[in-house]
Amino acid sequence: MSGDSHTLPVRKGTTFSDEAVPDIDPTTTAGLLAERLQAWKHAVGYLEDYVGAVEKVHKAHSKEYEKVLKTISHPLKEGAHFDQGLGGVAGFFENMRVNTQAMINSNAETEKTLKGSVLPILERLHKEIKAKHKEVTHGVEKGAKEIEKARNNTQKHIELLGQHTAAFESTGGKMTPSDDPYVIQRGVVHRLNKQVIEENNHRNDLINIQESFKTFEAHVIQVVQQAMDALNQVAGGQAEKTRALYTDMLGAAQRIPGDFEWKGFVQREGHRLVDPNEQPRSVNALTFPNQNHNSTKALIEGSLERKSRNKLSWGTQSAYYVVTPSKYLHEFKDDDNLRYDPKPELSIYLPDAVISAPTGEKFNIKGKDKSKSFSSKLAGSSELHFKAHSAAEAQKWFDAIRIAAGATGPAYESQPSSPDASGSDKPKIDTTAAAAHEEQDVGITGGETVSSPTAISPTVARSDTLKSGASAGAEEKKETAA
């Protein structure tokens, strides 16, 4: 034992010794039994508090489950996407609402049952213990008072006997009849007999009370077991019911086939979904306004080789060129419209350019790049040297460019070759016209006469331009032959 512990007082039982007036308190056993009943009363009170707390818990659960129900009480948002029949998500949530409402009702019923069935059992037992405690306390108290009274009378006569026995020695035996120790001694025995009778009666009462405690406590245990059985049936049954309700919700969710909602959705909204059997869209198959307008059709397009404008580089570079009805010669990297946004890397406005007649598969164009690219700002006006795949193709490009530029006169080489000794048929340049136009910036160079290009009038058709160019060429041939 630790040094802080102290010895508890030990209660002694009501066991009478051989002394006439024992020092034992006649209420000691009764007090012990009363204290035991008090302990039982408190134990039953604990159970009452427990059941009362469980009752309040179920009442609170009923209100809390009402809050739970509110979370799913409203219809599903965008609920049209779900099948409204049983077996789907909408049916699953309806199952949850029904089962949650059942939990609310179950907890409310459990609270009422505990209050009306289980608690009264313990309350009645509490009253029984209280009555038993009163019976023990009052019955034993009455017998203890009688014993105390008899003991006091006996004690007085014993003291009187002592006084007169002492006087007997001093008086030499001369005493009155009432003071005779013999008479007094018999009176002590008489009163002691009455005391013993009261003590034995009190003892028998305590024995009867003790014997009844065995039966009474068995009754208390039995009633407590009955109350706990009722609590288990009510609260435990409610717990099992809650478990069953949750199991039912789980089953409702597990019974939904994985493709149930999707199949229903496809059946309802299939006309708004993408048909997997439909062929994918193709840019070539699409149409849009002004797709085939005359201004969008190239006069000629294809790949050409062009000598770089960079004087430090040599060779030619292949690119994709287009002559448009807007009178532009555009250069692109390639003819792919899909990978990159097709922005011209070079744009020459043909009416403002000087165009030379083709020499074999080569021809030149001198003009200003108007594409607004970085290179166009550095280069300014420059002469571009083109090379087609063949002389015939170069002629096609030249004709298309001449039509777009609006030229009407014959075309010659920009830099004619010197006449040889044999006097071959080479076109001669009119020196008068050359003197008049020392440096030509626009039009088509070469020939006896060089006329400045004029803008194509809207009233002049493309066929007229071609005819005029053809007639000019025929006249030139006739003059040369003469």
Q: What is the pLDDT of residues 100-159, one digit of tens each?
A: 999 999 999 999 999 999 999 999 999 999 998 888 887 776 777 777 887 888 888 888
Reported as a single tens digit per residue, the pLDDT across 165-189 is 877 777 666 777 777 788 878 888 8
pLDDT bin (cut points 50, 70, 90) of residue 370 is confident
How far, in whole angstroms, is CA 45 from its chain's centroid?
Answer: 48
* CA-to-CA dists, residue 409 to 33, 131, 231, 326, 449, angstroms: 144, 140, 118, 21, 8
| H-only helix segments in 305-390 | 374-379
pTM of the predicted protein model:
0.52
State the pLDDT at residue 27.
56
> pLDDT tens across 321-342, in order?
999 999 999 999 888 888 888 8
Percent of the chain's residues with pLDDT above 70? 74
Most confidently modeled range among 20-24, 418-422, 447-451: 20-24
**Predicted confidence (pLDDT) at residue 377 exceeds the cutoff of 70:** no
* CA angle centred on 277, ends 276 and 282, rounded to 5°: 85
| First-to-last C-alpha distance (Å) of the chain | 152
Q: Is the pLDDT of residue 469 over 80?
A: no
Sorting pLDDT into bands at 50, 70 and 90, what band is 408? very low
Q: Is the pLDDT of residue 60 over 90?
A: yes
Query: To the nearest whole number, what is the mean pLDDT of the chain?
Result: 77
Extract the runs of DSSP E, i.e. beta strands, from 246-388.
Answer: 300-307, 316-323, 328-332, 346-349, 354-356, 362-368, 381-387
The confidence score (pLDDT) of residue 367 equals 87
Among 448, 417, 418, residue whose Cα is nearest residue 433: 448
Element (DSSP H or E) covering residue 445? strand 443-445
Q: Is pLDDT above 70 for 439?
A: no
- Looking at residues 360-364, what average pLDDT do you find? 91
pLDDT tops 50 at residue 426: no
Band (301; pLDDT cuts 50, 70, 90): very high
